[in-house]
Amino acid sequence: MSKAQIKVMDNGSLRVTGDVELIDMDGNKFETKQTFSLCRCGRSQKIPFCDGTHKGTFQSCVRAEKALDDKQ
């Protein structure tokens, strides 16, 4: 099984790649593909999935703090 990855896209969605099970609060599974995007802006008509509605209206650029080994 490959390791799943979630990438925080600049001014956009959360891009999910890998073997992931997405479920709602009642335990019902959403149908997903190997790669899909989750909405961060709250404007999508396909919540929890991104439909691109954020383009030009949502701004968020998130970066993880680099590990000490990477700063040298």
Say what the pLDDT of residue 2 is: 72
Is there a domain that residue 68 lies in? Answer: no
14-24 per-position pLDDT tens digit: 999 999 999 99
Say what the pLDDT of residue 70 is: 57
**16 neighbors 2 (Cβ within 8 angstroms):** no
How many domains are there within the chain? 1
Sheet of 35-38, strand order: 5-8, 14-17, 35-38
Is there a domain that residue 46 lies in? Answer: yes
Say what the pLDDT of residue 1 is: 56
Give pTM, 2 decimals.
Answer: 0.84
For residue 23, the enclosing domain spans 1-63
Residues of the chain with pLDDT under 50: none
